[in-house]
Structure 1
Amino acid sequence: MLFWVLAALLTLAAALAVMRPFLRRKKSDRPGAAHDLAVYRDQLAELDQEVKRGLVSETDAAEARAEIGRRILRLSQSASDGVASESGGRLERIIAIAAILAVPALSWGLYSALGSPGLPSMPLQARLNGDPAHAPLEDLIARAEAYLADHPDDARGWETLAPVYARMGRFADAVAAYRRTIAIAGANSEREAGLGEAMVGQSGGIITAEAEAAFNRALAADESNPRARFFIGLARAQEGKRDASRAIWQDMMSGLPDDSPWKAAAAQAIAGLDGMAAQNPPVAAKNPSEEQLAAAQQMAPEERQQMIKGMVASLDAKLRQNPNDPEGWSRLLRSYVVLGREDDAVRALERGLAALGPETAEGKSLSELAETLGISGAQVNK
C-alpha cells in the first residue's frame, strides 16, 4: 500500500510542477485605462476654458481636440484587445491544465484495466528459492552462479554451466567456465573440445590458433572425438586446404552412427566444399602467375566466409528452438551480412524482432545493429 501512496504523491507533484506556469495570471504592463481617459477629459475641459479666455484660437483648439480624440480612440481599442487577450489566455490555461491532469488519470486507468496491480512482488531471492521445475532458464543460471560464487571449487558445477553459457551465446563466460573446470578437475577430451568450440563462438566462427590447440589436446586424449575432428577439418578449410578438410570429415563420418549430429554437420560442410569447388574449379597444375596469386589472395576471405555457413545454419537452428537470445540474433544477423545473404539477414531481423519484441531494449538494439549493417526498416516491411 505504501508504494501506491508514494506513486500517487509523486504523480500529483509532477502534475503540479507542470501546471504551475499555467496557474499564474499575467500581469498587465499597461497603465490603467480609466486614469488615461480622465486625463484626456481634463485636457478637453482646460482647452475649452482657454478658448473662452482667448488664449487659444478656435483653429488651434479644433486641432488639439482632434488629437485628443484620436488618443481616446486608441485607448479604447487597446482596452478591447486586452480583454480579448485575457479571455483567450484563460481558455488556453484551462485546456492545458485539463490535458496535464488527463495524462496521469488515463495512465492509471489503463494500468488498472490492462495491468496487474494486485500481483505481489517477487524479489530475486524469492525466485531463486522457488521450485526449479517452474523457474525460467535465466533464474536457473542465476541460482548456479550464486552457488558457484560460494563454492568456486565445484568443478561439476562449472562443467554443467559452461555448455549452457555456450548455448545462450555467452561465449566469453563459457570459455571462463571451461577453463575453471580444467583448472580444478584437470583436462579431458570433452572439456578441451568444449573449450575450443566456445573460443570459436567467441571469435565469430574463426578457428584461432588457441582454439585449434584446444582441439588438438582433445584429440590427443581421444582421437575419435567428433567435435574436435569437425573443427580441425573446419580449420583446414579456412586455410584453403579443401582436400585435407574433406579427408578429415569423410574419415570422421565413416566412424559415426547415422543419427549423430556431427555426421550431419560434416556432410553439410562437405556439400559446402563441393559448391565452392563448382564455383571456383581448380586450374591445371603449373606454376601460378602473379595474377593468379593475387586472385587467390582475394578469394581467401570468401572461402573463409563460405566455410562458416555450416556454423551459421547451426546458430539459425538453435535460435528457432530458443529465440530468446538477443546476442544470438545479433551474431546471426551480422553473419548473414558478412556472407552477402541480404535476404536471409532481413528474414533473421524479422524473426528476431518478433521473438524479442520491437519495442524492448533488446529489439531496439537489434534494429540499431541492422541499420549499421545496411538493413533498413523499409526492407523489413516489404
Structure 2
Amino acid sequence: MNGVFLLLALALCLLALAFVLIPLLREPRDAMGPSRREGVLAVHRDRLAELDQDLAAGSLTKERHARALADLERELLDSGVLETGPDTGGERRGTRRLVQVAALASMALLPFLAVGTYLSVGYSDEVFAARAPAGQTLPAQPQAEPSDEEMTREFTRLVEGLQVRLAQNPEDLQSWVLLGRTLTYLDEFEAAGRAFGEALRHGGDRDPEVLVRYADVLAELEGGLAGEPAALIEQALAIDPDHPQGLWLAGTLAYQQEAVDEARAYWGRLLAILPAESPEAEVIRGNLAELTLR
C-alpha cells in the first residue's frame, strides 16, 4: 500500500510541477508594446493627479496620500513599463536561462526530496494541534497602519531601486520623474530638483506635468514661485492651457503678486474644467469669492 501511495504522490508532484514550471520554460512574448506602455503611463498619471487633488482639497491626509503614492509607484515599477533600456532584453534573457535551469533541477529533485522527507518524518498528529476547535475559526490578525518610519523605509527602497535602474539606463524619462516625485515626498527637495532637471534634459521639457512638478520643487527651494518656477509654469501652460496644476500655480503666483485680475482669470479657467461638485472646485470658488473682496 505504501509503495502505491508513494508512486501516486510522485506522479502528482510531477503533474503539479509541470503546471508551474512549463510556463517558465517558454520564451516570453513582449506583451508590453509601445501603445500599451503609453496607456499604462497615462493611467498612472491620472491616478497621481487624483491623489494630488484629494490632498490639496483636504479629503486625503498626508499619511494616506503617501501610502497611496508608494503603492502606485511600486505598481509602476513592478509592471515592467520602465524597463525600456537597450540592454535590459539581453539581461532578461540571461536571467531567464538561469531560471530555466533552476526549474529543470527543481522538477528533477523536488519529488524525490518530498518522498525522502515523508519516509524520514512520516505523518504527524501535531499538524492538527494548532487547528481551532470544531465550529470555530481562528481570529483574524488586525493589520496595523504602517508607521512614518515604515513609510520612509518604503520610499527609500523605491529611491534605491530607481537609482539602480537609472544607472543602467540614464535616458529613462519616466524613472527620472518617478525619482523626483519620490524624493519630493521624502522632503529631499534638492535631490528632487536634480532629478526633475535630468527629466527635462531627457524630454520632460515637452511634458507639462514634469514642468509643473519641477516648478513646485523649485518654489520650495527658492521660497516662492517667482523667477524660474514662473517660467516653467508659463511653459507648461503654453503646451497645455488647461493643465489643472499649472492653472492653480499660475493663479497662486498672480495672487501673491497682487495681480487680482490675472489670478481671477487663471482660477476661473481652472474652475471651468473641474467637476462642479468636487472638493477642489469648492476650494477654487472660495478663492474667487475672496478675490471679489479685494
Per the normalisation by structure 1, the TM-score is 0.34
- Higher RCO, 1 vs 2 (CA within 8 Å, ≥6 residues apart): 2
Per the normalisation by structure 2, the TM-score is 0.43
